[in-house]
Amino acid sequence: MASIELKNVSYTYNKSLPSKITAVDDVSLKIDSGITGLIGHTGSGKSTLVQMLNGLIKPDQGEILLNGNNIWADPKKIRDIRFKVGLVMQYPEYQLFADTVEDDIAFGPKNMGIEGEKLNETVESAAFFAGISKEILKKSPFELSGGQKRRVALAGIIAMSPEILVLDEPAAGLDPAGRRDILGGIKVFSKIKNTTVIIVSHSMEDMAMYCDDIIVMAKSKVIAYGTCSEVFSQHELLTSTGLDVPQITRIAAALKKNGIDIGDDIYTVDYAVDKLIEKYKK
Amino acid sequence: MSIVIKAENLNFSYPETESTPKVDALKNISFEIEEGTFTAILGHNGSGKSTLAKILCMILESQTGSLTIMGKDVNSENITDEEIMDIRKEVGMVFQNPDNQIVATIVEEDVAFGCENLGIPSVEIRERVDNALKEVGMYEYREHPVAKLSGGQKQRVAIAGVIAMRRKCIIFDESTAMLDPIGRKDVLNIIKKLNREHNITVILITHYMNEASMADKILVMNEGRIVASDTPEKIFGDPQKMWDIGLDVPQTTEFLYKLNHYGYSFPITVFDPEAVAEIVSKEFSSVE
Amino acid sequence: MGSDVIFGQYIKGDSVIHQLDARMKIIIAILYIVIIFLAHSVSAFILLIVATAVFIIMTKIPLRLLLKAMKPLMIIIIVTAIINMFWFTGKTLLVKFWIINIYLEGIINSLLIITRIILLIMATSVFLTYTTTPLKLTDAIEYLLGPLKVLHVPVHEFSMMMTIALRFIPTLIDETHKIINAQTARGANFTSGGLISRAKSLIPILIPLFISAFRRADELATAMECRCYTGGDGRTKLNVPKTSCADWIFLLVIIVLGVAVVLLNTFIPIYSM
C-alpha cells in the first residue's frame, strides 16, 4: 500500500499579521495501510493537515513524503500529487457542476488525460464502488437526493484511482443508514483496491466502527496515534481535550470502577458484549 | 394541559416537474403535541420530517387533512393573513444551516431582527435582545460580526433570535446536524433549558438517537408516515424495529439488548452510561 | 478572512467622531467635500489642512493606516499633478526645456490639486469609511432617503438588500475558496491555457457557486418569513439613531469652516487657482 509521511511539518496562517495562527505545529507521522481516522475538534488543525497531504497547502516547514518522495520536490508537478492523493472535502455535493452524473465523475480522470473507452470504464468502476446504480449515471446530479449527491462526489475522486484517499467528514449530516452506506463503501474500496484511506470525523462511534488506526489532534499537535484499542483506552486523555468517546467506552470505564474489568480497549458494542460474556458468564 | 398542535390526516405531495415525478411526502399524518412538552421526530433522510416542519411553520400548506395550531385551524379557507401572522409569532423555527438563517452582520442586530418585524418599541427590543443573548451565553459577543463565529455559536445566535420573539413553541429542524460535538452539546443544553425552565414547547427533528432519548415523546417517521409515536423507552425498547427502518438506538440500549440475548433480562432503555454500568455490574459482580 | 472584507476599512474605536450619528456624518462629509471644492486660495487650503489634521487626531486612528489607504491612489494623483504642471501657463517662467515650459503658478497649482485630492480622501475616510460600519451607513442612507418613499421608491428594500449583501459576502468568499480547493483537488487547472480554455475552466467553480447562492437565498427567504418579515411597514429598530449635542456642534464647525474658506478666498487670495 502507498504510504504518506509527515516530517516536522508546520503551517501558520496570516504569517505577517499579529493575528497569526499556527494551525499545524511540528507534526511528524506516517500512515501506510488500512483506514486511519483523524479526530480532533474544530480548530485543532486537522483540516489544514488534510489539505497539506495533497498539496493544496504548502507547509512552511518540514516535508511531506509520498512513498518516500517529497511531494514539493518539483512544485510544478504538484498537480500529479493531487491525482495520487485524492481529497474528498466536506459536503462535497456542493462541488457538483456537470450536466450528468457521468460527466461529473469524469472531470477528474479527464484532467488526468484519460479518454475514450478507458474513461467509461473508470467512471463505471468508480460509480460501482460509490454505490451509484447505472441508471443514475445519465441523470443530472441536481435531481438526486443529498445522500446520492454525496456518493457522486465521492465517485468523482475514486475515479482518479488515487493511491491514497483522504475524506473530510464523509458522513456529516447523513442519517444512520446513509452513514453506513458511505463508510461501508469506503471500507470495501480500501480492501479491494488496496488503497490507504484517511478519514476525518467527529463521530467516535463511526471511527471506532470503520478505522484500524486513530490519530488524535489537539491544539495543532498530534496527541495520540495508535490502533483503535490503544487510543480509546486513553479515554481520559480524550475527554480532557473535549472530545467524546463512544458511549460503550464510557460504560466499560464505569464498569471497571465497579470492579467489572473487561479491558480498556472497548469501543464497539459487540466486542464489549463478547468480552463481558466470555469473562463473567454464569 | 392544552394542545398546541393537532394534526389530523395531513397529506402533502410535491407536484410533478419536468425532471422529477410526483412525490408523496406526507401520508395521513396525525399527532398531537401538548404545551410544554419535548417531542423528537426521528426518521431517515427523505422520510418527510422536513416537509412536516415546513408545514408546521406554515411555509408549506398540506393538501388535505386538518392542522390546528394554537387553537386556530390553519388549513381553513377563511384564515386571514393576520391570523397566520399571529401563529407565526407563537411558533418559531431554527434551521439546519446556521449560515442561511442569519440576516444581519452583527450578532445583536440579528437577534433583534424578528422583534423589529413585530414592531416592538426599541427600548423593549434592547431588553429582550440582551436577555436572549444572556440565555444562550452569547452576550459578550453581542457586537461581534456573525461571520467570525463558529457554527455552534451561530446556531446559538439563531436560537436567541427566536427566544427574543417570546415564542411558545420552537421547532428545531436538524439544528445540530452541521455542528461539531462541542457545538452540539451547547445547543442541546440550551434546548433542554428552554423546555424545562421556560416551559417552551420543543419539537426536535434529528438523526441522533441520544438526542431523541432526551425527549418526552418520539415520533418515528418512515416513507411519509408516522410509524411509531411513544416515549423514548417504548420506542427504543424495540431495537429490531428501528434497525429494520434504517434507524439506530443509543449504544446503551444496543449493549443491554445484546446482553439479553444471553439470557439476561436487563431493562434495555437506560440511556445514561453510568447507570447502565451500575445495573450490569450488580448482575455480574455476584458471579465472581 | 472574509469578514475583513465586509468591514471595509472600518477601524474600531470610541472617539468622538466614531460616536457621531451616521446620518450626520454623511451630511458633514458631503458638506466638507463641497467646502474642499470651494477652496481656491492657498490661505483657504492651509485652513483646511489644519482642520483635517485636527479631525484625524480626534479619530485616534494611526496616521500609518490612513496613509496606507492613499497608497494605491498615489500614482494617479502624481500623474495628474505632473500633467497639470506641464499644461499650466502662468506669468513666472521657471524652466524652459525643448517644448516644456514650467511656470511657478503651474507648480503651485499642481500642489494644490494634490492637496485637494488628499483632503477629499481624508475627509471621506475620517467621517465615513474609517469610523462608521457599513451597516450603520446603510441604515443612515435608508433614513436620509426616507422622504423618497412617498414617491414609491423602495428605500427599505434597497437597504435590506445592502444588509443581506454585506452579510453574505464573507460567506460566499469562503464558499468560493472551498469550491476552488475542491476542484483543484480534482486536477482542475485555472492558470494555464489560452483565454477561452481559462474561461471554460471557471465553469466548475461558477456553477456550484451559483447553485449554492440560490439555495442560500431560498433558505434565507424561508427563515425570514418564519421570523415574521413582511417588508418595511411597521418595522421598528433596535438601535434608533439619535443626534446628540456633539453632532450639532460638528455641523456648526463645518459650516463655520465653509464660511471661513469663502472669506479667505475673497480677502486673502494667495496664488488663487
Q: For residue C19, is it within any domain?
A: yes
- Give the Cα separation of C121 and A176 in Å (integer): 58
pLDDT average, residue stretch A198-208: 88
Q: For residue C156, is it within any domain?
A: no
Q: For residue C161, is it within any domain?
A: no
pLDDT over 90 for what percent of chain B? 56
Class of domain A4-228: alpha beta
Residues of B in contact with C226 (CB under 8 A): 57, 59, 88, 92-93
Residue A280 above 80 pLDDT?
no
pLDDT average, residue stretch C10-27: 86
Determine, for residues C185 and A107 on separate chains, whether the beta-carbon distance falls below 8 Å.
Answer: no
Q: Please give the domain boundaries of chain B with CATH numbers for all domains.
A: 3-249 (3.40.50.300)
Band of pLDDT at residue B205, cut at 50, 70 and 90: very high
Determine, for residues B278 and A258 on separate chains, whether the beta-carbon distance falls below 8 Å.
Answer: yes
The pLDDT value recorded for residue B258 is 92
pLDDT average, residue stretch A215-242: 87
pLDDT for B46-84, tens place per residue? 888 889 998 988 888 888 889 999 888 888 777 888 888
Residue C2 above 50 pLDDT?
no
Give the C-alpha distances (Å, rounded to integers) separating A17 from A14, A93, A221, C63, C266.
Answer: 5, 34, 22, 18, 50
Nearest to B273 among A202, A250, A277 (CB): A250
The pLDDT value recorded for residue C18 is 87
- Gap from A153 CA to chain C (nearest CA, Å): 10
pLDDT average, residue stretch B156-183: 92
3-state secondary structure string across A32-61: CCCEEEEECCCCCCHHHHHHHHCCCCCCCE
B251-260 and A269-280 are packed helices; what angle lies between their axes, rounded to 10 degrees? Answer: 40
Determine, for residues A95 and C183 on separate chains, whether the beta-carbon distance falls below 8 Å.
Answer: yes
As a whole number, the mean pLDDT across chain C is 85
Give the structural domain span for C84: 13-132+243-267
Q: For residue C93, is it within any domain?
A: yes
Band of pLDDT at residue C5, cut at 50, 70 and 90: very low
pLDDT for B11-53, tens place per residue? 999 888 877 788 889 999 999 999 999 999 998 888 888 899 9
* Helix (H), strand (E) at residue A4: strand A4-13
Instruction: Using alpha carbons, select from A25, A4, A34 the residue that is nearest to residue A199.
Output: A34
Q: For residue C56, is it within any domain?
A: yes
The DSSP symbol for B74 reads T
Residues of C in contact with A16 (CB under 8 A): none
pLDDT for C131-169, tens place per residue? 888 878 888 888 888 888 888 888 888 888 888 988 898
- Gap from C167 CA to chain B (nearest CA, Å): 5
Q: For residue C88, is it within any domain?
A: yes
Lowest mean pLDDT among B151-155, B207-211, C92-96: C92-96
The pLDDT value recorded for residue C194 is 80
- More confident call, A35 vs C68: A35
Residues of chain B that touch chain C, judged by Cβ-Cβ distance less than 8 Å: 54, 57, 59, 85, 88-89, 92-93, 95, 97, 99-106, 108-109, 112-122, 125-126, 129, 145-148, 161, 165
The pLDDT value recorded for residue B144 is 87
pLDDT over 90 for what percent of chain A? 55
Nearest to C187 among A51, A96, A112 (CB): A112
Nearest chain B alpha carbon to A245: B181
ipTM score above 0.95? no
Give the C-alpha distances (Å, rounded to integers) separating A36 from A30, A190, A211, A223, C16.
Answer: 11, 11, 6, 15, 57
The pLDDT value recorded for residue C1 is 40
Q: For residue C117, is it within any domain?
A: yes
Determine, for residues B100 and C219 on separate chains, whether the beta-carbon distance falls below 8 Å.
Answer: yes
The pLDDT value recorded for residue A49 is 93
Q: Which of A95, A119, A149, A158 to mutate to test the interface with C (most CBs of C within 10 A)?
A: A95
As a whole number, the mean pLDDT across chain B is 90
- Give the Cα separation of C140 and C143 in Å (integer): 5
pLDDT for B216-231, tens place per residue? 999 999 999 999 999 9
Nearest chain A alpha carbon to B245: A177
pLDDT average, residue stretch A191-198: 93
pLDDT average, residue stretch A169-192: 89
Band of pLDDT at residue B286, cut at 50, 70 and 90: low
Q: Which of C4, C186, C190 to mutate to test the interface with A (most CBs of A within 10 A)?
A: C186
Residue B262 above 60 pLDDT?
yes
The rounded Cα A262 to chain-centroid distance in angstroms is 30
Nearest chain B alpha carbon to C238: B122
